[in-house]
Amino acid sequence: MQSVLDRETEIERCLLQFGHKLLDLIKRAKQAFRIVSGFDAQDFNCFFVCLFVMFTACELGVFDLLLESEGPLSSDAIAERLGASTNGMERLLDACVGLKLLGVEIKSEGAFYRNTELSSLYLTKSRGQTLCHLYKIPVLTHFAMKSEEEMIKFMQFLNAFWSICGKDVIAAFDLSPSFMIWEPMGGGVGGLAKECISLYPNSTVTIYDLPKIVQVAKEHFIPPEECRITFHEGDFFKDPVPEADLYILARVLHDWADDKCLQLLTKVHKSCKPGGGVLIVETLLNEDKTGPLEAQLFSVIMLVQTEGKERTPTEHSKLLTAAGFREIQVKKTGKFFDVVLGRK
């Protein structure tokens, strides 16, 4: 069986035949992600996400439609003409913009997309040089966790982000001394919780997660002698949420559609102590969704893997306000994850 790297090398060799510029573009996206996330594309397959985005747009005929159209088109118009989902199309087009496969003009009516010279040249079927037929990209099937071993691997992958940028996230706002009891909802195996107690040694952190994740966290990630981190097993949609000063939702809302996010945030607001708050940690999209590339790519992954999406600061603020939170503050960390703080 071909290894990921063999396959990658083979893809790169084929791409080379079609144009150094395009190859450079994809290589740069791969390198950028490596620098930003610290992850090798072999682990995360960001390279495959880039290619997945490109080939999906190719196969749907996005580049052909834009080549034939007289001017730039809106996402809704493209979705309608190609018989595709409007929600999915917008994310796909934004990711193409991030990858510089499409250009975008932001007008008062919304975003209008157009081909770049390279995409008209290499990604249109009519020009006969299309890359589309070369490969069918496997869609991140390694994320489907089938065994405990796979789950541990996935959790190690999630955790590793926090050793790289956890401090920036937790230090983005001064969270002491008003917040003493912290509740990371869907806190996973505790990578961010460890950063919390390291930066705020007087805080106590209770990780709330599904029973099977809590079990894995206890067995493999948090040593029993670490008494400042405790666990609460539960389903945050069905079970009660314990009272706390600060709730942390890190990479949780991006798994869920707006109605579920609102349901969860409303529940958190009810349990939150007066004067307490909620800290949302996500990769924020620019307000006009023209970047950053990692948020655009993640939003495509969320489309394929979950019910959710990446959001803009305004979209997060609206959800928080609707749930009852106020004094909403947004901080871009300049790293992979940004933070939004709301108070009760």
In the complex, minimum distance from the CB of residue 190 to ligand SAM, in angstroms, rounded to a whole number:
8
Question: Residue 71 burial (CB < 10 Å; 0-12/13-18/19+)?
Answer: exposed
186 binds ligand SAM (CB under 6 A): yes
Segment near ligand SAM (CB under 6 A); pick from 72-80, 111-119, 230-238, 266-274: 230-238
Which is closer to ligand SAM, CB of 122 or CB of 231?
231
Residues 6+ apart with CB under 8 A from 246: 175, 179, 181, 182, 183, 276, 277, 278, 279
Which is closer to ligand SAM, CB of 187 or CB of 342?
187
187 binds ligand SAM (CB under 6 A): yes
Spatial CA neighbour of 277 closest among 322, 326, 207, 317: 326
CB 49 within 8 A of CB 300: yes
In the complex, minimum distance from the CB of residue 110 to ligand SAM, in angstroms, rounded to a whole number:
30
CB 187 within 8 A of CB 250: yes
Place of tokens 């079970």: 239
92 binds ligand SAM (CB under 6 A): no
DSSP-H helix ranges across 130-173: 148-170
Tell me how far CA of residue 114 lies from CA of 18, 22, 26, 68, 259, in angstroms: 21, 17, 19, 11, 32
165 binds ligand SAM (CB under 6 A): no
Q: Which of 26, 101, 250, 328 binds ligand SAM (CB under 6 A)?
A: 250
Give the H or E element holding residue 207. strand 204-209
Confirm whether 232 is a catalytic residue: no
- Using CA atoms, how far apart are residues 266 and 280, in angstroms rounded to an integer? 14
The encoded tokens of residue 44 equal 């995360």
Q: Which of 82, 134, 140, 158 binds ligand SAM (CB under 6 A)?
A: 158
In the complex, minimum distance from the CB of residue 284 to ligand SAM, in angstroms, rounded to a whole number:
15
- Could you say which of 232, 254, 269, 316 is catalytic? 254
In the complex, minimum distance from the CB of residue 217 to ligand SAM, in angstroms, rounded to a whole number:
9
Q: Which of 194, 251, 269, 309 binds ligand SAM (CB under 6 A)?
A: 251
Residue whose C-beta lies closest to ligand SAM: 186
244 binds ligand SAM (CB under 6 A): no
210 binds ligand SAM (CB under 6 A): yes
Which is closer to ligand SAM, CB of 122 or CB of 221?
221
The encoded tokens of residue 168 equal 């920036």
Which is closer to ligand SAM, CB of 38 or CB of 103?
38
Segment near ligand SAM (CB under 6 A); pick from 52-60, 66-74, 249-257, 295-303: 249-257
In the complex, minimum distance from the CB of residue 37 to ligand SAM, in angstroms, rounded to a whole number:
13
Question: Residue 236 burial (CB < 10 Å; 0-12/13-18/19+)?
Answer: buried
318-336 burial, b if ≥16 CB within 10 A, otherwise e? ebbeebebeebebbebebb
Give the H or E element holding residue 295. helix 293-305
- The identity of residue 287, as a single letter, is E
Q: Which of 29, 192, 265, 293 binds ligand SAM (CB under 6 A)?
A: 192
Which is closer to ligand SAM, CB of 65 or CB of 158?
158
228 binds ligand SAM (CB under 6 A): no
State the residues that interact with ligand SAM by CB under 6 A: 158, 186-188, 191-192, 209-210, 213, 235-237, 250-252, 255
Q: Which residues are catalytic?
A: 254
